[in-house]
Amino acid sequence: MILPTYHAHTFYCDGKGSPEDYIRNAIEQGLFAYGFSSHAPVPFPNDWSMKKDLVEEYMEEIEILRGSYSQLIEIYTGLEADFIPGKTDPLTVKNEYKLDYVIGSIHYVKQFNSGVPWQIDGNPEDFERGYNEIFNRNAQALITEYYELTRRMIREGCPDIIGHMDKIKMHNKSFRLFSEDDNWYQQEVLATLEEIRKASAIIEVNTRGMYKKGLSEPYPGSWALTKIREMGIPVMLSSDAHHPSEITASYDAALEIIKAAGIREVMVLKKNQFELTGID
Q: Tally Cβ neighbours within 10 Å of residue 71.
A: 5
Q: In what order do the strands lie in the sheet with 74-82?
A: 33-39, 74-82, 101-105, 161-162, 202-206, 235-238
Tell me what percent of the residues of the chain surpass a pLDDT of 70.
100
pLDDT in tens, 179-203: 999 999 999 999 999 999 999 999 9
pLDDT in tens, 202-255: 999 999 999 999 999 999 999 999 999 999 999 999 999 999 999 999 999 999
Strand partners, 273: 270
Average pLDDT of the residues in 51-70? 98
Q: Tally Cβ neighbours within 10 Å of residue 68.
A: 12
Q: How confident is the model at residue 173 (pLDDT cuts 50, 70, 90)?
A: confident
**The pLDDT value given to residue 280:** 78
pLDDT in tens, 69-104: 999 999 999 999 999 999 999 999 999 999 999 999
Q: How far apart are the first and last CA of the chain?
A: 11
**The pLDDT value given to residue 2:** 86
pLDDT in tens, 101-148: 999 999 999 999 999 999 999 999 999 999 999 999 999 999 999 999
Distance CA 95, CA 101 (A): 10
SS3 content of the chain, % helix, strand, coil (to 5): 45, 20, 35
39: helix, strand or coil: strand
> Which domains, and CATH codes, for the chain?
19-278 (3.20.20.140)
Strand partners, 238: 206
**The pLDDT value given to residue 1:** 67
121: helix, strand or coil: coil
pTM above 0.95, yes or no: yes
DSSP 8-state assignment for residue 217: S
